[in-house]
Chain A
Amino acid sequence: MRDIAIKADKLTKKFDDFVAVDAITFDVHQGEIFGFVGANGAGKTTAMRILCGLSKPTSGSATVAGFDVYKETERIKRNIGYMSQKFSLYDDLTVMENITFYAGIYGLSDKEIKARGESLLSQLGISHEAKTFVSSLPLGWKQKLAFSVAVIHEPKIVFLDEPTGGVDPVTRRQFWDLIYEAADRGITVFVTTHYMDEAEYCNRLTVMVDGRIDALDTPANLKKQFSVDSMDKVFYQLARAAKRSGD
């Protein structure tokens, strides 16, 4: 039995009368790539914010890296990495300045920052760009760099919120190579995406509808369960039944 990285039990978040997250229950194993998909407004972001220690649930329980989402949010933050498409790196800092800044926040020592920063740059093949402002990097490089920075402290879990939106097809795939490598090193990956082909790359997948988890399984089993040949169709069947309208 593998270790549990994230455990949620009837986790619920209400905003006044609105139930944004409705009693969701699931486990994520250490080293697993766990996909989180759902229509706009299904509750993905709210659930992710709770798991990152940024928002307190209304009821239910959850632990992330063994820490409680009510009481140990600071310890959660120290054991996770986070990256989103909308916010990742500072445009007006150089590549190395961004690395130094984030690694510092994640608590690495100056010596570690230097060593890991250099190895990260050489792995990505952009050592010559260390002093380049992030604003002038191509989007694909930015996203790969942002991911590498989010795991520079080798966290137990990394949360990725639509990390590949708008990225070209080749870079999108190279980005997933990085995700696989991180998972191979034992980092748990919790990822949301609108690309259904990417849903296929996850070990297991949840589909959220109106705040609930309406399906949770491997991509292959979900397709079997809904008797369809693509994740697109699985998602379409589930999300079409949603009562909530968007965002």
Chain B
Amino acid sequence: MAAITLDNIVKTYGEKDQKVLAVDQASFAVEEGEMFGLIGPDGAGKTTIFRILTTLLLPDSGTASVAGYDTAADYTQIRNCVGYMPGRFSLYQDLTVEENLKFFATIFNTTIEENYHLIKDIYVQIEPFKDRRAGKLSGGMKQKLALCCALIHKPTVLFLDEPTTGVDVVSRVEFWDMLKRLKAQGITILVSTPYMDEAVLCDRIALIQSGKILSVDTPANTVKKYPTKLYAAKASDMHQLLKDIRSYPGVASCFTFGESLHFTFRQDDAQNIAGLKATLDSGNYLDLVINEIQPNIEDYFIQISEPVHA
């Protein structure tokens, strides 16, 4: 059975003459025990989907289910069996670490002791500060406390809305390690992120932009769908190189990508690559390197989200 299903979900905000379409006929399913990523930029509709699935918002049309329950009809059952960590820190700032955790355990009719095994790995890291008010914690510690509070009633499905946004690389790596351990305990996880490099850590991913689901697949299969060959170029003067490659007539798209530029041709033929190399060689690049490369998730996202440059 699927742990989460969405079927043609549509959600608009605002009055009738100024309607904003937040989610546009979104459909996907998350299997039990799966770590599923919802990948897309701010404003793509990720949080709206989370709020619909956690029964905090009703869709305009379409149906959704969590753990077999309908999000509209069976909202009480869903609220009892899901954990939700919203993107914005939502714990009580003037309660201490321990008080927050106790509070969430109590409203779900459980105790910290009963499910301590679930949060132990994470909680020991913030336990030295258990008497500190939540509002006085650092960002990384807040994030760990919020995760503990979302887990303390032993949810079957865990919703994490951008848990790593604004978090540095080291804390992000730690956080994903924690998620892997939770997945190993059989918890289904739906996690959203704007960081494309985190997509590969999920079992399957949905790419979303402007409310539309663009693709649902494993990370490996997602990049296989890249329609053309992709090349990378590197030289000491990257800005000049960007301008030169973009102005070559056969080039379809060219983007900066860390230390290199990634580009595609309108037509994959040997003539184009030879022609471009010849053009660039007549420039004054001393250390030009061009290779064909394997696309990654961000390449694919750029490819499907933006029409090819005219």
The answer to whether A40 and B171 touch (CB under 8 A), given A166-B165, A170-B305, is yes
Write out, one digit per residue, whether chain B residues 112-138 have a CB within 8 A of any chain A CB (1) or not (0): 000000000000000000000000011
Expressed in whole angstroms, the Cα–Cα distance for A220 and B260 within the complex equals 12
Q: Cβ of A168 < 8 Å from any Cβ of B?
A: yes
Contact B259 A245 (CB under 8 A): no
> A52 → chain B, closest Cβ, in Å?
20
Q: Cβ of B141 < 8 Å from any Cβ of A?
A: yes
Of the listed stretches B2-10, B37-45, B76-84, chain A binds B37-45
Contact B258 A200 (CB under 8 A): yes
Chain A 189-207 residues near chain B, CB threshold 8 A: 194-197, 200-201
Chain A 169-188 residues near chain B, CB threshold 8 A: 169-171, 173, 176, 180, 184
Q: Cβ of A159 < 8 Å from any Cβ of B?
A: no
Contact A194 B306 (CB under 8 A): no
Contact of B301 among A139, A169, A240 (CB under 8 A): A169
Contact B209 A168 (CB under 8 A): yes
Q: Cβ of A230 < 8 Å from any Cβ of B?
A: yes
How many residues of chain A are within 8 Å of chain B by beta carbon?
40
Contact of A168 among B40, B142, B256, B259 (CB under 8 A): B40
Contact B194 A230 (CB under 8 A): no
Contact B138 A246 (CB under 8 A): yes
Expressed in whole angstroms, the Cα–Cα distance for A36 and B16 within the complex equals 45
Contact A139 B170 (CB under 8 A): no
Contact B256 A173 (CB under 8 A): yes
Q: Cβ of B140 < 8 Å from any Cβ of A?
A: yes
Write out, one digit per residue, whether chain B residues 10-24 have a CB within 8 A of any chain A CB (1) or not (0): 000000001010000
Expressed in whole angstroms, the Cα–Cα distance for A142 and B257 within the complex equals 22
How many residues of chain B are within 8 Å of chain A by beta carbon?
37
Contact B169 A196 (CB under 8 A): yes
- Chain B residues lying within 8 Å of A232, measured Cβ to Cβ, are 169
The answer to whether A169 and B42 touch (CB under 8 A), given A219-B259, A240-B170, A246-B171, is no
Q: Cβ of B88 < 8 Å from any Cβ of A?
A: no
Give the nearest-CB partner of A247 in chain B: B138
Q: Cβ of B56 < 8 Å from any Cβ of A?
A: no
Chain A 226-247 residues near chain B, CB threshold 8 A: 230-232, 235-236, 239-240, 242, 245-247
Give the nearest-CB partner of B140 in chain A: A246
Expressed in whole angstroms, the Cα–Cα distance for A235 and B169 within the complex equals 8
Q: Cβ of A165 < 8 Å from any Cβ of B?
A: yes
- Chain B residues lying within 8 Å of A38, measured Cβ to Cβ, are 168
Contact A165 B165 (CB under 8 A): yes
Write out, one digit per residue, whether chain A residues 113-154 have a CB within 8 A of any chain B CB (1) or not (0): 000000000000000000000001011100000000000000
The answer to whether A245 and B166 touch (CB under 8 A), given A168-B41, A169-B298, is no
The answer to whether A41 and B138 touch (CB under 8 A), given A169-B196, A239-B170, is yes
> B85 → chain A, closest Cβ, in Å?
17
Q: Cβ of A93 < 8 Å from any Cβ of B?
A: no
Chain A 1-22 residues near chain B, CB threshold 8 A: none
Contact B169 A194 (CB under 8 A): yes
Chain B 159-213 residues near chain A, CB threshold 8 A: 165-171, 173, 194-196, 209
- Which of B20, B170, B196, B305 has most chain A Cβ within 10 Å? B170
Contact B259 A180 (CB under 8 A): no
Q: List 10 A-B contacts (CB under 8 A).
A: A39-B170, A41-B138, A165-B165, A166-B42, A167-B42, A194-B168, A200-B258, A230-B259, A239-B169, A245-B138
Contacts A168-B41, A236-B173, A247-B139 supplied; 16 other A-B pairs, CB < 8 Å: A39-B170, A40-B138, A139-B41, A139-B43, A167-B42, A167-B194, A168-B44, A197-B257, A201-B238, A231-B258, A236-B170, A245-B138, A245-B141, A246-B168, A246-B171, A247-B138
